Every structure is written in structure tokens, then in C-alpha cells.
Amino acid sequence: MDLIDEPASNTPEFTVAEISGAVKRVLEGEFGRVRVRGEVGRVVVARTGHMYFDLKDERAVIAGVSWKGQVARMSVRPEEGMEVIATGRLTTFAPQSKYQLQVESIEPAGAGALMAMLEKRRAALAAEGLFAPERKRPLPHLPRVIGVVTSPQGAVIRDILHRLQDRFGTHVLLWPVAVQGQACAPEVARAIAGFNALDKGGPIPRPDLLIVARGGGSIEDLWGFNEDIVVRAAASSQIPLISAVGHETDTTLIDHAADRRAPTPTAAAEMAVPVHADLSAHLATLEARLLRAGAQGVTNRRQRLTDLARALPRPEALIAPAAQRFDQWAERVPGSLRALLSAKGQELRGTATGLRPATITMRLDKARDRLADRAERAQRASVARLTALQTQLTALERLRQSLGYPATLQRGYAVVRDGAGDVLTSAAAATKAASLQIEFSDDRISALPAKSRPARNKPTPPPDQGSLF
């Protein structure tokens, strides 16, 4: 059976990569740089810093992506529900076979969108109690150190320093920050937290008051002061804080969290310190009032004393009764003295009558008899005491003699000493001694130990005469 060949197809074959590349070239060629208006859907920020979100309207959705560097340059970050205009390039993502908008910048679709998002954020933060009036603290009357959070360039810091110098010169610490752009919010939050972290009495003085300041600008320029991180840092600050962001008509969320809002940076400096001249004048006024009050007080008390003195009797009337009593006693004193002297004289004469020689002699004899009797009793007691002590001493002497070693020698014992006079109690010690002393009951003799004695002469045996047999 013959096989019938199928007719060859003229349709070219493409790989998947070729088709994907062709679609990419067509899409990017037809739509280069575009601006797309839509509502922001889900927003996801990856750990790498890239941002992925959706742009949608009532009929379609376009996936959007912004790389880390593009996200850092955004003045306003997209949030879900926000209507924006995204600028970028249309491209494809081959692994998922989809197209997406690579967004380079985002701007709100009119001020209304920003204001709606701002109002939504304000309501959420207010619900947390961050704007509650009871959280706000009073400003110090005369701060010694003021911390300023603003840009080191521009007129804001110069205006603040100039106004502080005019009113009341004080020490100022500047924490430089970016006041717009992507870096604004984190730097301002770190500055507020950094001032609060300073130790009291440390090398860098801790401010008594903080001023967060910036000049005027559009709502996009001031958007960094509407971020959650800045509002929370201002609300949690332990140091009283004045918000001076923008001009008088500008309002940001940090104004609600701050303890006081100033319409301009210059007004913030005026709130921070009083005018030196006004303070001096007020002190002068207080001093004058104090002097007048003191003088008036002295005058009032003098008048009061005068009024009270009128109610008192005359000094002569107070002294007269006492003077009269004194005169009466003065008249009675001489007679009383004479009577006292007479009585004492009679008492003395009566006492002298009893002091006759016979009476004194009799008293002396009685005292002498008592003394002799006591001396005799004392002598008898002393003799008895001495006799008892003598008897006790005699008994102790007999006991000493009976227990002493001379009595033992009388019973036939002897005491052996070495040449130094030390008593020897063993044969080994006597053998080692160079010389010996032996004490008997009647005398001592010297002797040599056995090893020092010369050997006795042994008898010489008779010579061998042999045997006769």
C-alpha cells in the first residue's frame, strides 16, 4: 500500500521567545513614553524596594511597576484608592505573558485627589487619639535651649535665629533635614526622636522646646509633613513642639499633632521666647509694685500700732501700784531685819550655852572609848585571821613535802640528769648523753654512760706448751 504524503504547510514556525520578543518590540514601538490616568489598586512594596501596583478604571486594569531608584525619587507615593497620573513606558513581562507600565513618576490627578487622601489619613490618625487636646503640653516660658528641625539652607533658619536674637537670645541647636522629597519624612522623624533621646546634663544639652519649620510651598512640596511617621514622632515627643510648616494658609497633619501651631517660622520664634525689653519692663513693674506694697504695709502697721496704743492705759498708771507696793515693803524691811537679827542672836546664845568644857570633855571621852573598843575588836579579828592562814600554810607545806620528789628519793629512788641538768627518763637518752649526774637523797655523783667506759682488761691466756703425749 502506497503512503500518500501530506502537503507541506507554508505557515512559518516561531519559538515562544521569538513571539514574546516581537510583541515586546511592537508594544514598545507603538507606545513609547505615555501618561496614564487611573485609580490605584493594590500596592505592594517588595523587600528589594521595588513597588508593584495596579492602575484601573471602570473597565480595565494595567499592572504597574516602579524600580527602587524611581520609588526614592517620588514626591508622592501612591496609595490604594488614590487617583493619579502615572508617567512611564509600556513593556511586557515575558515569564507571565503580560504587559505592564514601568512607572517613572506619579502625580495626583489634581489637588482634589491629594486632599481626599489627606482627609482620609487625618481621620485615621485622629481616631487613634494623636490629635487629642489633652495630649498637648504647655510651652516653657523661657527655654534655655531650643532645637530647630529644618534645612540649613534657605531663609527659614535665618529668620528664626534673627527673631530669637531680637527678642531674647538663647542657645539654638539645629538638626539639618530635607524639607521636601522622599527623604523628608524619615529625616524629620529621626530628628524629633534624636532630640528626645538626648540625656539631660550630657555633652549636648537637651532642648527645652522643639521647632519644626519649613517655608511655604505647594501641597506636594509639603507632603512629607503629612506622612504617618512624622505625625507619630511629633505626637510621641516628650519635648514640647511647635509646628511652623508653610505659610499661614498651609495646613499639614503635623500641625494637629504638635503642641502649638505657628502660622510662619518667624511666628514660631515669637511663641518660643518673650521679648527681652518687655520682660525687663515687667520685672521693673513687679519690683515697683513690691516696693510700694512694702511701704504701704509698713504704713498700715504703724497706723495699726498707733490705734492700739490709744486703748492702752498711761505708763504712769501701770507703774503706780507697783511703786506703791515697793514703798510699803521698803518701810517694812528695816524693822524685819532688826527682828531677824534679834532672833538669830538669841538662837546663837542658846547654842553657845551648851558648849561648856565639861560637856565637850565628856563627849570626847565617849568617843575615845568607842574608838578603843573598835580597835580591840579589830586586833582580835586580825590575830584570828593570821592564825587561820598560818594553819592553812602549814598544811600546804606538809602536802608539798609529801608530794615532792625529795621524799621519793628517801624511799630509795634516784634522778638521772645529763651534763646540762636535764632529767633523763629512758636508757636510750642516757646512752646518748656525754656525761651523767645521779642524784640520791643525800648527794649527787657524776658517771659516764656505758659506751664511754674503757674496756676491762681481760686475763691473758697461758701460752700453749704443747702436749707431752
pLDDT in tens, 332-353: 888 888 888 888 888 888 777 7
Q: What is the pLDDT of residue 167?
A: 86
Helix axes 184-197, 228-235, angle to 10 degrees: 20
Asked if 183 and 190 count as a contact pair (C-beta separation under 8 A), the reply is: no
The cell for 131 is: 490629635
222: Cβ contacts below 8 Å, ≥ 6 apart: 180, 214, 245, 246, 250, 252
Q: Which amino acid, 443?
A: D
Q: What is the pLDDT of residue 432?
A: 82
Helix axes 228-235, 111-127, angle to 10 degrees: 40
Checking if the pLDDT of 28 tops 70, the result is yes
- Rounded to a whole number of angstroms, the distance between the first and last alpha carbons of the chain is 165
Output phi, psi for 64, to 5 deg.
Answer: -125, 150
If we measure between CA atoms, which residue out of 100, 190, 113 comes closest to residue 147? 190
The cell for 429 is: 637518752
Tens-place pLDDT, residues 42-65 = 888 888 889 999 888 878 888 899
Q: In this structure, what DSSP letter does residue 453 have?
A: S
Q: What is the pLDDT of residue 1?
A: 44
**Edge-to-edge, what's the strand order for the sheet holding 436-439?**
415-418, 436-439, 444-447
Tens-place pLDDT, residues 178-196 = 998 888 999 999 999 999 9
Q: What is the pLDDT of residue 325?
A: 85
Q: In this structure, what DSSP letter does residue 224 have?
A: G
Mean pLDDT of 116-125: 84
Which residues are registered as beta bridge partners of 437?
Answer: 417, 446
Mean pLDDT of 62-72: 88
Checking if the pLDDT of 4 tops 60, the result is no
136/132 Cα distance (integer angstroms):
7
154/216 Cα distance (integer angstroms):
12
Mean pLDDT of the chain: 84
Q: What is the pLDDT of residue 24?
A: 83
If we measure between CA atoms, which residue out of 81, 38, 79 comes closest to residue 56? 38
Of the segments 121-130, 162-171, 185-194, 434-443, which one has the largest average pLDDT value? 185-194
Checking if the pLDDT of 210 tops 90, the result is yes
Q: How many CB atoms lie within 10 A of CB 220?
A: 14
Mean pLDDT of 87-110: 84
Q: What is the pLDDT of residue 26?
A: 83
Asked if 238 and 195 count as a contact pair (C-beta separation under 8 A), the reply is: no
Q: What is the pLDDT of residue 429?
A: 82
Alpha-helical runs (H) found in 5-110: 16-30, 68-72
Q: What is the pLDDT of residue 6?
A: 53
Asked if 114 and 219 count as a contact pair (C-beta separation under 8 A), the reply is: yes
Q: What is the pLDDT of residue 462?
A: 61
Q: What is the pLDDT of residue 193?
A: 95
Angle (CA) 321-326-330 rounded to 5° is 150
| Grid cell 674496756 in the structure block, residue | 455
| pTM reported for the whole predicted model | 0.47
Tens-place pLDDT, residues 299-325 = 999 999 888 877 777 777 778 888 888
Checking if the pLDDT of 452 tops 70, the result is no
Ordered by where they begin, the domains of the chain are 16-109 (2.40.50.140), 136-278 (3.40.50.280), 411-448 (no CATH)
pLDDT, greater one: 293 or 355: 293
| Grid cell 524693822 in the structure block, residue | 335
Q: What is the pLDDT of residue 275?
A: 82
Confidence of residue 464 (pLDDT cuts 50, 70, 90): low
Q: What is the pLDDT of residue 469?
A: 44
Q: Report the percentage of the chain scoring pLDDT > 70.
A: 92
Asked if 83 and 108 count as a contact pair (C-beta separation under 8 A), the reply is: yes
Mean pLDDT of 421-428: 83
Checking if the pLDDT of 150 tops 50, the result is yes
